[in-house]
Each structure stands twice: as C-alpha cells, then as structure tokens.
C-alpha cells in the first residue's frame, strides 16, 4: 500500500490528501489549507475577499461590515 507522510504533523497515512494549493501531502486531519497553515492561505483569503470587493474594510473584517448593513436597515 502507498503510504505518505503528512507534511504538517509527520504522521504516516494510507489516505494521503494533496493540497490543491501547495501540492504537499497531508493526513485527513490536516488536508484543509486552514489546518496545515498552507503557505498559500493568505493568497486564498485575498482571492476570496477580492471576489467580493471587501478589501477596503481591512482589519475590521466581517463584523464591522455586517454591523453597517444591519444598522442601515433599522
């Protein structure tokens, strides 16, 4: 059987997952970019934000934006 070593925790796994972004192999626990601190994580987040055009709000994040939206409705 083909075993791989998780690039994050070093455990061997029979079911390696390859990250779509950094192309490393990970165990099921660390297959998501958030869970292995993917080197591309900041890129992924930037892209998600970019699609919505919310970059302006910077550090305040979603809460500030939601507050503004709800504030308007009331």
> For Zn ion, which residue of 5, 22, 44, 65 counts as binding (CB under 5 A)?
22
The owner of tokens 């809460």 is 63
Shortest distance, position 68 Cβ to Zn ion, whole Å:
33
Is residue 17 a contact residue for Zn ion (CB under 5 A)?
A: no
Cβ neighbours, 10 Å, residue 5: 15
Beta strands in the chain (DSSP E): 4-5, 12-13, 17-18, 25-26
The reply on whether position 38 binds Zn ion by CB under 5 A is yes
Residues near Zn ion (CB under 5 A) are 6, 8-9, 19, 21-22, 27, 30, 33, 38
């Amino acid at each position: 059987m083909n075993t791989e070593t998780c690039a994050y925790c070093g455990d061997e796994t029979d079911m390696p997952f390859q990250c779509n972004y950094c192309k490393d192999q990970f165990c099921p626990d660390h297959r998501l970019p958030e869970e292995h601190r993917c080197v591309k994580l900041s890129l992924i987040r930037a892209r998600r934000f970019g699609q919505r055009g919310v970059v302006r709000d910077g550090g305040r994040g979603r809460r500030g934006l939601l507050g503004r939206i709800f504030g308007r409705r009331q």
